[in-house]
Amino acid sequence: MNGLLTFLPIILMIVLFYFLLIRPQQKRQKEVANMQNSLAKGDKIITIGGLHGVVDAIEDSIVILKCGNAKLTFDRNAIRTVLEKGSTVAAEPATPKATEEVSEDATEENK
């Protein structure tokens, strides 16, 4: 019994390190791996170097990014964040008809 009490603080420290350090790091690694594996053409991304670009093509472990007029080749592991998925539809601006109606009403009032 006395021997177990001697090792109890060490065992508690190991359990504490597991739940506070090791387990969250493993979760982050899984999330990053899932994000990098789910890359698709048209995704807006940021690399680990801070470069913003759009995915132009994906091969096994290589991603070709379009940045302005340039195309750059990066390793898939160099992708840090996906800002927007390429397949999502952007919100449409206000319909032109609504603005035309307002402008027609305004012009009629001005007459």
- The string of pLDDT tens digits covering residues 11-33 is 999 999 998 999 999 999 999 99
- Residues forming a β-bridge with 45: 53, 82
> What is the helix, strand, coil percentage profile of the chain, to 5?
50, 25, 25
Model confidence, pTM: 0.60
Q: Which amino acid appears at position 68 of this protein? A: G
Domains, the chain, in order of start with CATH, read 2-84 (2.30.30)
Quick: pLDDT tens for 83-93: 988 754 443 34
Q: Is 88 helix (H, G, I), strand (E, B) or coil?
A: coil
Q: Are strands 70-75 and 79-84 parallel, antiparallel or unpaired?
A: unpaired
**Edge-first strand listing for the sheet containing 62-67:** 70-75, 62-67, 52-58, 44-47, 79-84
Q: How confident is the model at residue 104 (pLDDT cuts 50, 70, 90)?
A: low
